[in-house]
Chain A
């Protein structure tokens, strides 16, 4: 492994307060924009952010995640935290940390005109580049952890993940907010490039407590590559996941799954676009919303099949359960199809659990509360089962069911 640690800490702005709306980054999103129709940003807007990048966490275990093994890269409050990380030597991976001036030299223009993407590019404090050499199959998951532990701190970070030809990688990504911090904001970007015949699975877990987390994910797929992303959203004031999956090569597989479980007025928004530019590809989306205690869930998924992208199979699914009077769901699955020889479909359902099924469970002596829990488990199980690690699954269930 090559680690180039360049110019740490040099360009951090001290004591500067950021007023998001006053920044010259284009107009701040509002609900008149179709993309932000269901997600008001008032609560984010009124925070005065700082980016003094301090470390506060002593042990990862204090954040309620199971013990992580193997390569662990931890960014805390927008900065690489080497003492929490576990940088083991993996010769198949080239690892590069950029911060300060180095970022400016290496930065790409944001491909998508988006306020938060611009914000990320302008205030980026840590960029980690991972390159997986060709013909390599890394079995053990690599762990990327992003922590916010300081009140009002804004963290603009980026991971570049390049998986070269014929290689396979599994990433577990964590976005965590310490339970005693509030109004922090992780504005993160993942830039993923999958070369031909490569494969990448990302399990993304979001548990921000009283903090915010927006992720912009850009995925470019070359031919015969496979991309799977499972997003598990457990807590946070507002969570917004923008996934832009661009499929440029034939015979690709793209899969986006998710479980979002907002409670107590939390607002979780999944916004995805899968762009099929070429023929013979498959894409799948499966998002499950479990919403209670005035939580709000948003699913807005779009599949675009461009002209000449024939023989595309695209399937989109969003199922939601509302568990109490005040919870809300906004679901907008979209298909935009410009080629004829395709098989595309989507389905969206919203409702409550079947009363007969609940009665059945209760008639077997399972209490109402436990019955609801079992039903919820059954409901999200399809997505949880995507992981084959039983420890991780158990952890997810625990955090998502919040028992």
Chain B
């Protein structure tokens, strides 16, 4: 039997006193790929932010159990050390901090947490070379400031590059496909597939069936008004592509 990676129970959260997630349940086992779809504003990015520990969102109810541990009160960095990774829908620009410095700090901080020596510069650079190839990240970008002046597609590649560097247990890809050209989409999807193992899991948030041709999900969930209103296998994505969301909304929410 496959091993449980994360279990979200009755999750509710607020931002600015406005209720966004309203009782969300989701279980993900190691080795699985889940796709989350849903109309704009349904709470997909909110879910990913809450999982990653963004303090702007107030969890008002429910629990998040990650690798046997309740994490709703945990700081974002600690979640990251435990293997949580979020590829942001809108990656943030950080002027003046080079990508390289950023990543090295990230790895060293994690090592510090686990009491491991910091990674030697040589090994680090080797790893950078390897992983950036995986997503076809332009070499020049690595020395530039984090995401600053990157094109939309470059930012998305950079997210996956960071994912490769950090080797997480649970990767949440929030609309990583948007802004990517067809070739880039294949490259990124290919990268994600290569990083897949029986030890980790991936959550793919997307609006388009297209990405799911490349990253094939085991489960597809539909999020609406802060709840999962339907789950199915990959055929659900095809159905959604044809029919949209309305049939589901009326179906279940009378």
Contact = CB atoms under 8 A, between A and B. Distances in A.
Given A377-B96, A378-B96, A368 B166 contact: no
Given A365-B81, A366-B77, A378 B56 contact: no
A37 interface: no
Best-buried of A354, A361, A365, A371 by chain B (most CB within 10 Å)? A365
Contact of B97 (A362, A367, A377): A377
A345 to B, nearest CB: 19
A357 B55 CA distance: 13
Contacts of B101: 374, 377
Interface in B91-133: 91-97, 101-103, 105-107, 109-110, 113
Interface stretch (A97-105, A207-215, A379-387): A379-387
B105 A354 contact: no
A363 B91 CA distance: 12
A357 B91 CA distance: 9
A265 to B, nearest CB: 27
Interface string B55-90: 110000000000000000001110111001110100
A354 B97 contact: no
Contacts of B113: 365
A374 B92 contact: no
B73 to A, nearest CB: 14
Given A357-B92, A359-B55, A360-B92, A365 B97 contact: no
A356 interface: yes
A374 B52 contact: no
Contact of B80 (A356, A363, A368, A377): A363
Contact of A362 (B80, B94, B103): B80
Given A359-B54, A370-B105, A374-B105, A365 B96 contact: no
Given A359-B54, A375-B97, A381-B96, A364 B106 contact: yes
Nearest to A376: B96
Given A356-B92, A374-B97, A380-B96, A361 B102 contact: yes
Chain B, interface size category, equals 35 or more
A361 B162 contact: no
Contacts of A367: 77, 109
A403 interface: no
Contacts of A361: 94, 102, 106
Contact of B77 (A354, A356, A365, A378): A365
A381 B143 CA distance: 14
Tell me what chain A mostly uses at the interface: helix, strand, loop, or mixed.
helix
Chain A, interface size category, equals 20 to 34
Contacts of B91: 360
Given A370-B109, A378-B145, A357 B96 contact: no
Contacts of A362: 53, 75-77, 80
Contacts of B56: 355, 359
B109 A354 contact: no
A368 B74 CA distance: 13
Contacts of A381: 95-97
Given A375-B94, A377-B96, A378-B95, A364 B166 contact: yes
A355 B15 CA distance: 15
A290 to B, nearest CB: 12
Contact of A368 (B77, B79, B86): B77
A229 to B, nearest CB: 21
Nearest to B93: A357
Interface of A: 354-357, 359-368, 370-371, 374-375, 377-382
7 contacts: A363-B77, A363-B80, A363-B84, A365-B77, A365-B106, A378-B95, A382-B96
